[in-house]
Amino acid sequence: MVHPTGEGQQSVVTGEAVVLDMTPAGVATRIVALALDALVQLLLLLLLAVATSLVGTGLDPAATAAVAITGSVLILVGYPTTFETLTRGRSLGKLALGLRVVGTDGSPERFRQALARGLCGFVEIWMLSAVPALVVSLINPAGRRVGDFLAGTIVVQERTAQAPRDPVRMPPQLAEWAQAAELSRVDGQTLALARQYVQRYEELDTQTRHEMGMHVATAVARHVTPPPPANTSPVEFLAAVLAERRRRDEQRLTERPRIGDGNGVSSGGAWPVAGTAGPGQSPHA
């Protein structure tokens, strides 16, 4: 789902009501990326034509035509599908322009989505000279083409220089627990989701706070030992994990790593909470 966040900008909201800091790519940027990809594909088609003409001498014309058609389809459909699947939404052109294809819910692009975009792109871009893609992209506020609608995707501009938000603060009652906790097994994607939730905690309604808090805290708690103290709310737990991970990262920049730091074992347990944080308990700045 795409929502406006300001003049000329939009953000992607996941199905769990988490706002991701991604801006839909502009039509002009997408055209340049498409032109770069098209150039690569045309070069591959040229190489295919040369190779077919060299090895096709003396072969059955029908077999030569079948090879040429198969190779062309693989280049025109297989190239974007393969690249976007292996790189999680980035072809060579998108990589050069800092673009990425994601699901409309903010999730990474999947193979079926890349294949749908590739098959539709063969028609709307190559067979119809990109006219439908351009018209639909200009009409749609998020710049989505026909293939994006069929695949449930959106092309976003990855931000390389973004103003940092206020750092998440450590809940005082969890400081001692956090310093002794094993947190190194929490992956970056889960931490990013936790940070989005904590930083936008005040913007969410009560039900979303609870449901999202339980969902994200459970995902983080699977990789954290020991579990937090009883009656710790999800938002306090997540804030403590984020603040402690930041403190350890900053410490590693100024000190030599301590022997044995970060070698604990994941518990894989469930999230032990009594409820959500009450009014005025938001841990972020």
pTM for the model stands at 0.53
Using the predicted structure, report yes or no on whether residue 56 has a pLDDT greater than 60. yes
Return the structure tokens found at 43.
């070069």
Q: What is the pLDDT of residues 225-243, one digit of tens each?
A: 999 998 899 999 999 999 9
> Which residues, listed in sequence order, are joined to residue 236 by a DSSP beta bridge?
none
- Per-residue pLDDT at 51: 86
Q: What is the pLDDT of residues 159-189, one digit of tens each?
A: 544 444 557 889 999 999 999 999 989 888 8
71, 65 contact by CB (below 8 A): no
Q: Where are the domains of the chain?
A: 2-157, 165-285
Return the structure tokens found at 83.
């690249």
Using the predicted structure, report yes or no on whether residue 257 has a pLDDT greater than 60. no
* Mean pLDDT, rounded, for 36-50: 93
Using the predicted structure, report yes or no on whether residue 17 has a pLDDT greater than 70. no
CB-count exposure of residue 195 (10 Å: 0-12, 13-18, 19+): buried
Using the predicted structure, report yes or no on whether residue 12 has a pLDDT greater than 70. no
Cβ neighbours of residue 51 under 8 Å, at least 6 residues apart?
none
* Mean pLDDT, rounded, for 129-145: 91
For the chain, the average pLDDT equals 80
- Per-residue pLDDT at 14: 42
